[in-house]
Amino acid sequence: MTGKIDIESPNTLARIAAVLFLIVVAMGITVEVFFLGGILVPGDATVTVNHLIASETLFRTTVFGYLIRHVLLALLALVTYKLFKPVDKNVAGLMVVFALLSTAINMLNELNYFAALQLAVGADTFTAIGAGQVQDLVMFFLKMHDYGAAIPTIFSLWIALLGYLAFKSRFVPRILGGWMMIGGIAWTALAIPLVSPSFDPTYFGLFAFAGEVVFYLWLLIRGVKTT
């Protein structure tokens, strides 16, 4: 007779967090590469609008998938809060506040995608403006989505706070906690294009993402050290 899984144990919480993270990453890559990559064509309004019209159901499903992904990110923050609350309850609480603010902004930002889609598929109903203007508005809302996605990166400090808690707890090697702290700050660089559009934050994002991957893989494979 097998025993029950203790979902309150640190190692169980660590592995739940890791699985949530990996699901979020898999969903993000799938959506960006296999779905949106074939629909949205940067700089080509005509082709993009035609793709939106031809792939309306797929696009709606894709945006819905994004919403689910944001919910899973919120759950990830709550699970890590439960895991690291004994280390410092106040810091863990602030971490969750930042994470949930980021999630809320991201979910509201998906309205820009729905606005672009509504303009594309309902172009015939916008009789007051021409087809060319409809296409321009579609691209405008898609661009606004890009800007909207940059805003919540300011609250990526929740990842730095998670790194601090991990570093202080010694649940994982301190180097991983330190990497997460620096990575959380690096994520905020993705907001710099809001004030300096020519700035390319790609390398900051890659550094931060790599740190998260290593951190959560450690939680999945090795778990946490509690003694």
Q: Which DSSP symbol is given to 8?
A: T
Is the torsion defined by CA of 4, 5, 6, 11 positive or negative? positive
For the entire predicted model, the pTM comes to 0.89
Nearest-angstrom CA–CA distance, 185 and 174: 17
CB neighbours of residue 193 within 10 Å = 16
211 — pLDDT class (breaks 50, 70, 90): very high
pLDDT tens per residue, range 52-102: 999 999 999 999 999 999 999 999 999 999 999 999 999 999 999 999 999
Residue 4 has pLDDT above 60, yes or no: no
pLDDT at residue 156, as a whole number: 93
**Cβ proximity of 173 and 83 under 8 Å:** no
160 — pLDDT class (breaks 50, 70, 90): very high
Alpha helices, H only, the chain: 10-29, 45-54, 56-84, 89-121, 131-150, 157-169, 174-187, 202-221
